[in-house]
């Protein structure tokens, strides 16, 4: 539907995160006046490879490795832990998260009254 409304490009990839330029464009095409878009880099450290894997499994609501057959799941988990071990530093295993914040407003009608819809969203 967004493609038909020409809000997004035909070749848009919804599996990839949106960047600042794309978000700005989407908001403008949707009739919003962009006030500000901020990108915040957030570093996390996991004490061990196992704790990192446990976090990913918990935060994926059981979908992480869900497509891997149960018969080989433990082997795959062991391989992931082995690869994460290579990334271990004295601080732990670094994980970088990028939070994208958008502040924008949109008039709710075309009248002279100033009724605005304001969004503040995390992407």
pLDDT by position in tens, the chain (length 123)? 344 444 455 555 555 678 889 889 988 998 888 888 988 888 999 999 999 999 988 887 778 888 889 899 999 999 999 999 999 999 999 998 888 888 888 876 665 555 556 666 555
The parent domain of residue 121 ranges over 16-40+99-123
DSSP state of 97: E
Tell me whether residue 53 is in a domain.
no
Tell me whether residue 91 is in a domain.
no
Question: Per the confidence metrics, is the pTM higher than 0.75?
Answer: no
Q: How far apart are CA 98 and CA 52, in angstroms?
A: 17
Looking at the structure of the chain, the number of domains it has is 1
DSSP state of 1: -
Partners of 98 in the β-ladder: 41
């Amino acid at each position: 539907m967004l493609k038909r409304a020409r809000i997004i490009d035909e070749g848009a990839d919804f599996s990839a995160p949106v960047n600042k330029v794309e978000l700005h464009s989407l908001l403008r095409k949707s009739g919003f006046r962009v006030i500000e878009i901020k990108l915040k880099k957030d570093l996390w450290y996991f004490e061990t490879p196992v704790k990192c894997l446990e976090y990913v499994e918990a935060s994926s609501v059981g979908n992480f490795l869900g497509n891997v057959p149960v018969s080989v799941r433990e082997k795959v988990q062991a391989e992931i832990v082995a690869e994460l071990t290579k990334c271990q530093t004295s601080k732990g295993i670094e994980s970088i998260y990028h939070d994208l914040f958008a502040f924008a407003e949109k008039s709710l009608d075309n009248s002279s009254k100033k009724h605005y819809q304001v969004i503040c969203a995390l992407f």
